[in-house]
Structure formats: C-alpha cells, structure tokens
C-alpha cells in the first residue's frame, strides 16, 4: 500500500446514482495548494518545518503566524530590518521565507523594508 497525502473522491459515471461501487478514489502523494481545504494543510506544513528549528525568531514566527501571514513587532527600525533579513536569509534555519508584503507605521521604516 502506498502512502497518501490527499484523496479525491469522484464518480466513475455521473449518470449513475451515487453508490460505493460508482466511486473512484484518486490518491495523490502531493499536496495541492489553492484548494479551499488547503489553508489548514499549508499552516500545518509551515508549522512542521518551523518546529524543526528552535531559534528565538522561529519561535516568534510560530506564535505570530496565521496560515501564511506573519506579524513580527519591532521596537526600532534596526530591529525590524534585522528580523526581515533573518526571515529572508534563513541563516541555516528552516525559515527562508519570501516576505511579500511588509508594513510599518513609520514612514522612513517603510522605505527601508
């Protein structure tokens, strides 16, 4: 028996009634992203990979992460730049996150990010 990440159920013949003998089970070893149900799968995958590394930044990301949205507060502009740089580089950790949107409430800080 092969391992399965996702199973899809489909009717063999859509003109026939729904019955166990008319169901076709499709197994997939890959996780499809973009499906409505995949937000949980994405969050679980991110959590699994991040828990393999125990750095202070990873712990902060884990506690401030909702699916693929991260909120990282910083007291200073320099601290914000360091956190952004560390999430992007990874420094040998499980991070290496491509941060798409960066925001700050400081005008000069937004330019730096």
Q: What is the pLDDT of residues 12-61, one digit of tens each?
A: 998 998 899 999 988 877 776 666 666 777 788 778 878 887 788 888 88
Domain boundaries, the chain: 1-30, 38-112
DSSP notation for 3-58 = --SEEEEEES-TTSPP-GGGEEEEEESSPPPSSTTHHHHHHHHHHHHHTT---HHH
Between the ranges 79-83, 94-98, 103-107, where is the mean pLDDT highest? 79-83
73 in Cβ contact with 103 (< 8 Å):
no
pLDDT (tens digit, 9 = 90+) per residue, 52-80? 877 888 888 888 887 777 888 888 888 88
Query: Does the predicted TM-score (pTM) go above 0.85?
Result: no
Q: Between vectors from CA 70 to CA 99 and to CA 42, what angle results, nearest 5°?
A: 85
């Amino acid at each position: 028996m092969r391992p399965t990440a996702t199973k899809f159920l489909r009717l063999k013949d859509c003109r026939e009634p729904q019955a166990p003998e008319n169901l076709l089970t499709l197994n997939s070893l890959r996780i499809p992203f973009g499906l409505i149900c995949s937000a949980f799968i994405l969050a679980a995958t991110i959590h699994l990979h991040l828990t393999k590394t125990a750095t202070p930044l990873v712990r902060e990301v884990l506690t401030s992460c909702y699916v693929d949205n991260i909120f990282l507060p910083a007291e200073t502009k320099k601290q914000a730049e360091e956190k952004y740089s560390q999430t992007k580089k990874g420094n040998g950790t499980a991070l290496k996150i491509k941060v798409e949107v960066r925001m700050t409430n400081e005008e000069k800080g937004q330019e730096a990010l």
